[in-house]
Amino acid sequence: MKTKIFLVLFSLSILLAACQPEPEPLSGDILFEDDFSTTENQWTSLANEGGAMGYDAGGFRFFIRDEGLNYWSTPSLTFTDTRIETDVFQYAGPAENRLGLICRYQNDQNYYFFVISADGYYAIGKMKAGEQTLLKQEAMQFSDEIKIGRAINHLRADCQGSTLQFFVNNASVARVDDKDFSEGDVGLLVGTFDEGEVDILFDNFIVLQP
């Protein structure tokens, strides 16, 4: 009889434990990370006549051959509030480019982006219904915080509530408010302007609870 009672109580405790809600993440908790040493997280890869993106050289690499193109990659996840960080390095190509982070990605027509250029400019913007706009900027702005040329820049994008904040090498360069997207995927973005042949490597990608 005691054995049966014990088994019933043990089974009940397992059932109750399984029914408990997942604890809310605390500020600083790691929600997702990837050093791109394996392909297990299955970031979007492609190769076509315009360029290629995929796992390479110990990171996630973008090569865009043509001018006027944007390539982006996501790991197919969903988050609400996030703090996203990565390191980025330009191997080759023109300094006038755009490279950075994405948050609250709904689809290729709707998301926020945080970008710098290798000649020292930055912007926060959004793609909404396929139309790209910058937020609180008429054009990309210059910042001394950005290391120009063949240098590693550490990027951080905070997407918390309606507040979007961009950090470059641990310095805040922009902060805006926008309420269009409240959740979605995270990702990486590289684009060209008037010249192509841009070659960019990302590494040490991490998503934290802000």
Q: Which two tokens stand for residue 199?
A: 């070659």
User: Does position 113 have pLDDT exceeding 90, yes or no?
Assistant: yes
Q: What is the pLDDT of residues 67-103, one digit of tens each?
A: 999 999 999 999 999 999 999 999 999 999 999 999 9
Instruction: Name 177's Cβ contacts closer than 8 Å, sequence gap at least 6.
Output: 162, 163, 164
Q: pLDDT-based confidence at 8, cuts 50/70/90?
A: very low
How far from chain centre, in Å, is Cα 124? 13
Separation in Å, CA 20 to CA 23, 30, 42, 86 = 9, 21, 30, 34
The 3-state DSSP composition of the chain as helix, strand, coil percent (nearest 5) reads 10, 50, 40
Say which CATH superfamily domain 29-208 falls into.
Exo-inulinase; domain 1 (2.60.120.560)
Q: What is the pLDDT of residues 161-193, one digit of tens each?
A: 999 999 999 999 999 999 999 999 999 999 999
How far apart are the C-alpha atoms of 135 and 145, rounded to whole Å? 20
Q: pLDDT-based confidence at 26, cuts 50/70/90?
A: confident
